[in-house]
Amino acid sequence: MKISKFIENPSDFSNNLGIELIKKILVFDDLNSTNNKAKQLAIEGEDEGTIVISRIQKRGKGRFNREWESPEGGMYLSIILKPDILPEKSTLLSLISAIAISRTVSSLGLSPEIKWPNDVRINKKKIAGILIESEVCQEKIKYVVVGIGINLNIHTQNLSENIKKLSTSILDEIDTLVDYSDFLKNLLNNFDKYYKMFLDEKYDEIIREWKNHSDTINQKIVLDTNTKQLKGKIVDINEFGFLKVILETGEIRIINSGEIFFIEN
Ligand code: BTN
């Protein structure tokens, strides 16, 4: 299969990017995980705005300790951020990342939807995932790494059995290879825009935009807590990005982490 070119000239690409947030782009051929590399760099003092990108990942990581299969043709990147915010605001970084991906995917004529907090899906199949890792010290964030994986120019039929039935890709959806650098530039522009909105504390605007791109509100769900499964209905999302759920018992719960599963309405 013909593969759309990975970043051909990294220094040209970063010199011509012109995005305020993005200060440095580190391009690799095969890392274990761009998140691990970015975390190591952040700990060593790398500044906000450095991006780590790899053509493939040998041990890509997903949420809940899952693997993120990362063959050639997909997009795998991690953004180092060092915002001066309280840790409880960090869920909003998941939301803005998902909005940025959604807008970029939409620009190809597709209609993605975000499942809380940050799975980007088309017809209920996952096209992109986000893994946020951070270090907090005395209620202050030392760094945040936003890891983004997008099924770009890959055929999901080549992924493993249990993953492929839940996944789709841009190539599967539009049957055309997308230019890697153009897509990345578009994505980073969108990320920059919503990150600024986040730093400007325009949380209402972020939540409104997220709701526009999401199919989560009003869904009946099963929620997996560590100890039991709870059933309920999502009624809203608050200014921190936490879900408000009414349980079958009538009890109201605010959910700030974990995995939700939609059930028939
Ligand atoms: C998920 O939906 O489970 C999150 C998937 C996140 C995958 C990306 S790929 C780039 C970055 N590096 C990793 O090891 N994981 C994230």
How does pLDDT run across 100-154, given as a tens digit for each residue? Answer: 999 999 999 999 999 999 899 999 999 999 999 999 998 889 999 999 999 999 9
Cα 148 to Cα 129, 140, 158, 231, 251: the distances in Å are 6, 23, 20, 30, 35
To test the pocket of ligand 1, the residue of 30, 52, 53, 61 to mutate (highest count of ligand atoms within 8 Å of its CB) is 61
Torsional class of 198: left (φ above 0), alpha (ψ -120 to 50), beta (otherwise): alpha
pLDDT for the residue numbered 78: 98
Separation of CA 36 and ligand 1 centre (Å): 10
Q: What is the per-residue pLDDT for 4?
A: 63
Three-state SS at 51: strand
pLDDT at 54: 97
Cβ burial of 227 (10 Å; 0-12, 13-18, 19+) is exposed
Give yes or no for a contact between 235 and 218, defined as CB atoms under 8 angstroms apart.
Answer: yes
Q: Does the predicted TM-score (pTM) go above 0.85?
A: yes
Q: Identify the pLDDT of residue 114.
A: 97
pLDDT of residue 243: 95
CB 222 within 8 A of CB 230: yes
For 258, the 3-state DSSP assignment is coil
Q: Which residue has its alpha carbon closest to ligand 1 atom 16?
A: 147
Residue (of 228, 259, 229) closest to 243 by Cα position: 259
pLDDT < 50 stretches in the chain:
none
Q: What's the pLDDT at 265? A: 66
- The pLDDT score that the predictor gives to residue 258 is 84
Cα 134 to ligand 1 centroid, rounded to whole Å = 14
Q: Which residues line ligand 1 (CB under 6 A)?
A: 33-35, 57, 60-63, 66, 68, 76-78, 119, 129-131, 147-149
Q: Determine the pLDDT at residue 25.
A: 95
